[in-house]
Amino acid sequence: MTPDILLTDICLPDPFGDAPLKSNCCLAIQGDSICQIGPAHEFDALEAKRVIKGRGQLALPGLINGHCHAAMTLFRGLADDLSLADWLNNYIFPAEARYVQPDMVYWCSKLAAAEMIFSGTTTVADGYFHEHHAAKAFAETGLRAVAAQGVIDFPAPGVPDPEKKINHAAEFLTQWRSHPLIRPAVFAHSPYTCSPGTLVAAKELARSEKTLFFIHTAETEQEISMIHDKQGDSPVRHLHNLGLLDAGTVCIHAVWLDEQDLDILAETGAGIVVCPQSSLKLASGKAPLQAMLARGIRVGIGTDGAASNNRLDLIREMDSCAKLNKLRNLDPVAVPANTLVNMATQGGAAVLGLHRKIGRLEEGKHADIMLVNLDTPHLQPVHGSDLPLYAIQGSDVQTVLINGILVMQDRKILSFDLEETVEQVRRLAEQVKKSL
Ligand SMILES: [Zn+2]
């Protein structure tokens, strides 16, 4: 066997997390998968088509951003310091109606992909309108994506007639059914922007295509009273009453849950993605992460869009999430670093139903890998074996491979023209600026 790529002189974490980093290791890639991983002496007889010298860098599984609206990079910083309702109704929905078109989604999703790759993300679960153009952008950048077409009850970008929203999503699913990097899915915006009929139809479509159904759920206290007034129950129970909760449903945010909601989510096997930075910035609240994990609910972590974060850096997100939970629980051991790293790797993969393929560095898994430069003052010394979560920053990620393809090496994007992307986004941003 001649591997396509051999990573030499890399450090690997101990699989049980209690021993020091193992230095002088190698990792071989054949096609899109890891074919061998271990100490260098086991690779002595191996000749690869291409050798990448790790120079003592730490190899880790690429991160999984469980929730994003990639194209919203155009609206980064456009409307800060507002409540969710004000932000959404008075700024974001009008801006989306005006500026979200295929060209914008394509270039702004490409910019988002660059930002994510630069900070070690190798898979994103995205949900937006004109999602075909986001999927195209992800495929061209080499970023793995679960790309979900947005469904909402009012006229939306690309779907001026709300009557056609389910057909539109169905066409999108058909179009991207067999791409190696893109898994198409359905994203119903929320229980307050989608009627029961829309929610049932969207979930039925996802079920018939055996794909995921994403929905913003129980994000704010206001949503709780709104759904109680309209549907007579909590958002989670409303979705459950409609028969929407199962292992193929992913509830985003899940900040305002009561004990019964948590029990229902655990019983039905629905997944959750928390977005702590977005919830912090919009002051939506803190998701009951400990209670979710204690019930064995699958939980991932996401950045949400750049308009409510304003970064797409999962390393920063993990750090904030750990500290937010420590502070709010007045308990420094509330959610330890290892738990967050798990949520951003194999735990996140499980939420997306991709745990057999990604989330760990082991033979047979897809080669989604980041190399972290440990040779910086803020990452010395290294005592433990895991990602040094409270010291690392996104810019410590040097090299990224996705599906066996080298997409970034020594912080240079190789898979697409980043300069052109930045220029195109600036051009689009000029139009927004002129209209303000
Ligand atoms: Zn969102």
Please, which pLDDT band fits residue 15 given cuts at 50, 70 and 90? low
For the whole model, what pTM was predicted? Answer: 0.96
CA 300 – ligand 1 centroid, Å = 14
CA distance 176 to 170: 10
Q: Which ranges constitute the DSSP H helices of 176-313?
A: 196-208, 221-231, 235-241, 259-268, 276-281, 289-294
CA distance 325 to 259: 18
pLDDT of residue 228: 97
CA 298 – ligand 1 centroid, Å = 18
CA distance 68 to 66: 7
pLDDT at residue 177 tops 90: yes
Average pLDDT of 253-265? 98
Structure-token match 């929320």, residue found: 190
CA 314 – ligand 1 centroid, Å = 15
pLDDT at residue 49 tops 60: yes
pLDDT at residue 20 tops 90: no
The pLDDT tens digits of the residues spanning 372-407 come to 999 999 998 887 766 788 999 999 999 999 999 999
Provide CB contacts within 8 A for 407, sequence distance 6+: 117, 141, 142, 143, 400, 401, 413, 414, 415
CA distance 337 to 40: 29
CA 284 – ligand 1 centroid, Å = 12
pLDDT of residue 300: 98
Tell me the residue length of the chain.
436
The pLDDT tens digits of the residues spanning 112-155 come to 999 999 999 999 999 999 999 999 999 999 999 999 999 999 99
Q: Which ranges constitute the DSSP H helices of 330-417?
A: 337-344, 346-351
pLDDT of residue 131: 98
CA 67 – ligand 1 centroid, Å = 6
pLDDT of residue 45: 86
Average pLDDT of the chain is 95
CA 61 – ligand 1 centroid, Å = 24
CATH class of 5-56+365-412: mainly beta
User: What CATH fold (topology level) applies to the domain 63-351?
Assistant: TIM Barrel (3.20.20)
CA 215 – ligand 1 centroid, Å = 8
pLDDT at residue 84 tops 90: no
Please, which pLDDT band fits residue 164 given cuts at 50, 70 and 90? very high
Lowest-confidence range among 242-246, 278-282, 302-306?
Answer: 278-282
CA 286 – ligand 1 centroid, Å = 15
CA 366 – ligand 1 centroid, Å = 27
CA 16 – ligand 1 centroid, Å = 34
Rounded to whole angstroms, what are the CA distances from 364 to 182, 341, 404?
A: 19, 21, 12
Rounded to whole angstroms, what are the CA distances from 205 to 90, 167, 326, 393?
A: 31, 9, 40, 40
Please, which pLDDT band fits residue 436 given cuts at 50, 70 and 90? low
Domain edges within the chain: 5-56+365-412, 63-351
Rounded to whole angstroms, what are the CA distances from 177 to 109, 132, 171, 354, 358?
A: 20, 12, 10, 15, 19
The pLDDT tens digits of the residues spanning 211-222 come to 999 999 999 999
pLDDT at residue 19 tops 80: no
The pLDDT tens digits of the residues spanning 286-312 come to 999 999 999 999 999 999 999 989 999
The pLDDT tens digits of the residues spanning 55-81 come to 999 999 999 999 999 999 999 998 888
pLDDT of residue 88: 86
Instruction: Residue 322: name the closest of 339, 345, 305, 303 by CA.
Output: 339
Share of the chain above pLDDT 70, in %: 98
pLDDT at residue 184 tops 60: yes
Distance between first and last Cα of the chain: 60
pLDDT at residue 16 tops 60: no
CA distance 412 to 402: 15
Cβ atoms within 10 Å of 73's Cβ, excluding its own: 26
CA 139 – ligand 1 centroid, Å = 21
Q: Coil, strand, or helix at residue 179?
A: coil
DSSP 3-state percent helix, strand, coil across the chain (nearest 5):
40, 20, 35
CA 65 – ligand 1 centroid, Å = 12
Check: CB of residue 386 under 8 Å from CB of residue 337. Answer: yes
Provide CB contacts within 8 A for 114, sequence distance 6+: 141, 413, 416, 418, 421
